[in-house]
Every structure is written in C-alpha cells, then in structure tokens.
Structure 1
Amino acid sequence: MSYEDIIHEHRPSPIRKRMTRSERAKIFMPFAALKGYEEATAAREDVLTERIELSEERQSYLNDQLTQLEKGMPIRITYFQPETYNHGHYVKKQGKVTKIDTYGQLLVINQKEIRFADLYDLNILTSL
C-alpha cells in the first residue's frame, strides 16, 4: 500500500466536537490528591519567635506570684514552649494548679508541666 492511494483524500470529520484550548488545559492541570493537605501543612509552618530575656522586675514579679500559689488555685499563664534551643512559641494557658514542684522548678496545670524558667506571665484569677 502506498500513500498515493490516500494522499488526495479529504480528512475525515471528527466524531466528537473539538475541545477548546482552555478545556484541554484543564485535563493537564495539577490536582490535590489529598484534600486539606495544603491547609494542614500551612498551619504547621509557624514562624518561631526568639525567647524574650526577662528583666529583673519581671523575674521578681513572677517569683512573688509563684510564692502565693497553692494547689487548686485558678491561674492564667503565658509561657515559652521551645522548638529549638532559643526559638519557639509563647503559649497562653488557663486552668487550676495541679502541682507546684519548687525543688524541680515545675508548675503543673491540667497535666501540663511548665518549667519556672519558661514562664513569661502569671496571673492569679478569682475564679475560672
């Protein structure tokens, strides 16, 4: 068979309607295989902050507040949660004091242990 048999033939008309360029481009567009994955990873990409060095006045205030604490007292604290040595997040927590370990320098609120050195702010509340 040679091409001379078909060279002068007309091209057959397509059975389906031809796609526009924009419709054809949609076929090759990327898609999200895992729905919500982008949002979940974006939420994890937090910006770390540097630990704030406390002044002597702030340290004295925190020491005074710590000496007034008793088990079962409602408090609101802000503390540093380290991710690396000197970078992390400042977290606010409110709850009742579960344990005060002066020897181990730990404060426990709702089963969360917080080191005294990580405290930034401490307020004793009248009630929760």
Structure 2
Amino acid sequence: MHRRCPSVVALDAWYDRKATGPTVVNTPAELDAVLDTVVDWNAPITVQLLIHGDPGHAILDVGLDARTGRGVLCYAGSDAPDACISKGSDTAEQPPLYFTGSDTEFPVNSEIPLGEARRAAHEYMSTGGRRPTGVEWQPSWN
C-alpha cells in the first residue's frame, strides 16, 4: 500500500486554456507531469497552483520557459498578502513576459533557473501551501 506524506497536499493546477477546469494534482509525479507539459510547449507559460479544496489559502504562480531555461514565481498567502515575486541573480534588458491568462510582465530581475522554479512548486506542495524557502523573494511589481 502506498502511503502519502501527510504534509503533501493536492493542488489545482490551472495552465491549459482549453480545459474547463483545473487539473487536480495529487502526487509529486503528477505535479512533474503538469510542469513537463508546460515546459514542452516551449513558451513562457505560467502554471497557477492552488490548494485543492481551499483555493483562498495561498497561490503560487510558476512561470516556465524552456527556451531560456528560466522561470519566475509569484506567491500570495497569509505571509505575503500583497504577493511577492522571485528575485534572480541576473537582470534582463526587458521585463520578461509570461502568459498567465494574458501576457504578464515581470520585473527585470525576477527570473530564476528552471530547476529552482520546479523545486519551489514541489516545496509548495510538500509544505501544504507555504511560501517556498529555497528562493529569494522581492515585493511584487515595485
């Protein structure tokens, strides 16, 4: 019998404009499948992750762009009610655009390596929707 870690929560993943609702993600492998799908689209796309059954708890937007090997994060929850955005070590010449229902411009210093963005999504899932700690954060859209 397979036992899930008690802190892992199911997530609603919104990423497919053609879907009539979210993809419910119950395991880390299912989360990887969603992230892999978006990466395979080879465009700057955002996956919006919410706690299944408690969408007001916290939200993590995970932007992934396979073309550049970079991503962005935007988190809002009780410890960041005004939202916060990932802070990368590089500064882009132009604000990066990710599709989040519409094109969303992120700060020029918000992109992080793709692997870090993926790890943050897994940490969000494994901690019950807490803000990922393995990322440097900045206030949203200064």
Query: Could you state the TM-score of these two structures normalised by the residue count of structure 1?
Result: 0.26
Larger radius of gyration: 1
Query: Could you state the TM-score of these two structures normalised by the residue count of structure 2?
Result: 0.24
